[in-house]
Structure 1
């Protein structure tokens, strides 16, 4: 893909917002389905589906990444015990859906977990409360880090499959990651 690799302009929040809202004529939509397969073997979804071990079994999920670990209504209270009977691997990340939350410190850990889950034909369910912001951000970061996609292409790919709307703080963190990876030559070293 890498359609924008040669573009020296830095990524902007407005540019990413336009990718998110372009399919709906400028409107930001929340997900219309509980979960969607946004890339081969990677589902992005909401917390209620993630809490259903039977749903995870039905989808043949081998790994669950909770991007909203916590106990209040803005988080999803699951842990490795939740999925033990189904032999599903679990990673929980405590993150809030606020613009000042530093989700970027978890980008590499999340990307490694997703990559590990996909090896050998596994499937990964990445979720937060609504499956729109935290989880989508981590999957975009995975595509950038492991699949060498620039942020615009990664976000566009996910947006084609699911209504997502990462908050502006997360979009800025993805732009920052894009610039770091671009400077290191990551996108040209497939």
Structure 2
């Protein structure tokens, strides 16, 4: 079941909020004014339900990808293992880099590595993510985003990166959204909507929560576009 989960300060913050208000009143009486906030953090608040609404149709149903792969952002492709293991097809697409978000040898993973692409001219990077609500994929956000950034910069901005998992539905889209947030300064709502517009995706709720937390952190650090 997908439940509404708004990432806002916990109820314990209400007491700190009231104490902050008391402090501001004291500062005004003493003639010392507090520094203004950098921006309104509320403009970046997002809920799990809001993100799921982006991924479903009007009836609340999720759609399965209609193609093996899609270009979801200039020179960034999200796709499945079928294309990822077809080196000739990758070369015809002009792919220069591969990011495997499901590296491993179990049924739910894709058993490729750098040796698989030897002689193809394709640079490989693997991340052993599991597609479960409890898997902490956020520990790979920076690593994956940096690899995608370097891939796009290849040969003076002519690189193309194919980001995949088994189906190109949950793990790989999550890492691409993290890249858009970390290096293109998009908030999570904008980044997820952009990818969903190009490809049918469905990151699990655990991954969406982790993207929400990334959104909260980047907003607090002033690293997202202010709406």
TM range (shorter): over 0.9
Count of aligned positions? 184
Unaligned runs of 5+ in 2: 1-38
SS in 2 for 1:86: coil
Task: Please tell me the root mean square deviation across aligned C-alpha atoms, in Å.
Answer: 1.5
Structure 1 residues 54 and 6, CA gap change in structure 2 (3 angstroms): farther
Q: 1:85 Cα shift?
A: 1.2
Contact 2:41-2:219 at 8 Å conserved across structures:
no
Pair 1:75 & 2:109 matched: yes
Question: What is the CA deviation profile of residues 68-125 of structure 1, one whole-angstrom value per residue up to 9, with x for unaligned ones?
Answer: 0000110000001111111111110001000000000000010000000001210000
Distance in 2 between the 1:17 and 1:138 partners?
Answer: 17
Q: Which residue of 2 aligns with 1:141?
A: 178
Q: 1:32 Cα shift?
A: 1.1
Q: 1:10 Cα shift?
A: 2.5
Task: Select the structure of larger CA radius of gyration.
Answer: 2
Aligned equivalent of 1:112, options 135, 146, 154: 146
Pair 1:14 & 2:49 matched: yes
Provide the TM-score with structure 2 as the length reference.
0.78
Distance in 2 between the 1:92 and 1:19 partners?
Answer: 28
Distance in 1 between the 2:40 and 2:175 partners?
Answer: 24
SS in 1 for 2:197: helix
SS in 2 for 1:186: coil
Aligned equivalent of 1:66, options 73, 76, 100: 100
Distance in 1 between the 2:161 and 2:182 partners?
Answer: 16
Q: Which residue of 1 aligns with 2:206?
A: 169
Question: What is the CA deviation profile of residues 114-162 of structure 1, one whole-angstrom value per residue up to 9, with x for unaligned ones?
Answer: 0000012100000000000000000000000000000000000000000
Higher relative contact order (CA 8 A, sep 6+): 1
